[in-house]
Amino acid sequence: MNKAIIITTGEELLHGRTLDTNSAFICKELYETGIEIIECITVGDDIEAIIYTIEESFKRCNIIFITGGLGPTDDDRTVEAICRFFSLKDTVDENARIRIEGLFARANYKINKKDYKMALVPEGSVVFKNNKGHAPGFLIEKDDKFLIAMPGVPFEAEDMFVNEIKPYLCQRFNLKKSDGIIFRLTGLRESTINEIIEKSKIPQLGKWGISAKTGVYEVYLSLNDTTDDPRSIEEMLKDIFKEKLIDSSFSSPSEELVFLLKQKQTKLATAESCTGGLIAKMITDIPGSSEVYNGSIIAYSNEVKQNLLSVSETTLKKYGAVSEETALEMINGLQKVIQYDIAIAITGTAGPGGATKEKKVGTVCFAFDLCGQKKSETKIFNGDRDRVRNLSALYAINTVREFIKK
């Protein structure tokens, strides 16, 4: 198997001023090709450090991807470092030079000597066109070792990798899409997912790992050569995780919910307080959601809760705005304003202020009208304001999604 190491260069990465997204993108793109990424390394704009990292990396892999340091400034030193490592001279790529001159002319910028530095590549290298910027990428092959360099600017690197580098590698190494499955779960804790997987047949199928996002977990499963048809594995996953499994056709719980609502010809409405319309946003981000989503009332203040959702002053004084009683009255009031089959009401304390002895930050109260079945519940979410709001919205969406799937 081909093994690869990703090297990202730049002092801005080491100092935390810029986030390295290139490594994650390359790893994701290569996951399905069979090229195994064994390490990601970040180094500064130091020629000796870059040369040393290349030398050490080639002791453990046969492919190196290196990003950054192809620009016109004095701290862009990747080409020089690579030329020194391979004992090569640099040369001007004429296609890159012409493109750079054209881009500068169209922008009415005066080109100077240092700008031509972006057209330099090691002699004898395979050159990859930069469709989104100036400096080209390139590949050097020597003694069955391959080094691929690309720009550090993410949108340039991503376009070049997808349209130039990946197709070249697939042809050069006769790469085929490897057998692997990525499935998404929600409504479960990571440790619970881990425990369920370990007790199932999944570990026998191949290597697996869990990637955590807010409220959603992706499980990566690289299948062994002897494993079953991936379709039968998906059926097994449905049996194991049931409604907690997001169908593989969808990228998020809200996308699956919109599909299910369409399938059942069911209308949804929401009344939101602490989430401030976040549930509505998650739903309306999905194309075609207008077929099933009738609308929302954002009742952030008690006054709006009373005037638009008919929440009684007595309920607010006796139980408080953050209470199941208030959430249920929000549902009842919503029914008078917006027609629906299913409704969500949510009120809570997202923080950092607003906590009491009885109701700490992260306390969120929900009410649901699930085709005439009304229920309420209280959850406590840990984290900062954004995390509490996101987890609250996701929990509400998942509650409805799981109800429809059962």
pLDDT at residue 358 in the model: 84
For the chain, list residues with pLDDT below 70.
177-179, 225-230
> What digits encode the pLDDT tens for the residues 290-349?
999 999 999 999 999 999 999 999 999 999 999 999 999 999 999 999 999 999 999 999
CATH 2.70.170.10 fits 253-405, yes or no: no
pLDDT at residue 205 in the model: 85
- In this prediction, what percent of the chain has a pLDDT beyond 90? 85
Q: Domain boundaries in the chain?
A: 3-172, 180-246, 253-405
Distance CA 273, CA 348 (A): 7
Q: Rounded to the nearest 5 degrees, what angle is found at the Cα of 233, between the Cα atoms of 227 and 239? A: 145
The fold for domain 180-246 equals Alpha-Beta Plaits (3.30.70)
pLDDT at residue 31 in the model: 78
Strand pairing class (137-142; 126-128): antiparallel
Radius of gyration of the chain (CA): 27
- In this prediction, what percent of the chain has a pLDDT beyond 70? 97
- When the candidates are 3.30.479.30, 3.40.980.10, 3.40.50.10490, 3.30.9.10, the CATH number that belongs to 3-172 is 3.40.980.10
- The model carries a pTM of 0.71
Per the prediction, the chain carries an average pLDDT of 94
pLDDT at residue 232 in the model: 82
pLDDT at residue 368 in the model: 98
pLDDT at residue 33 in the model: 81
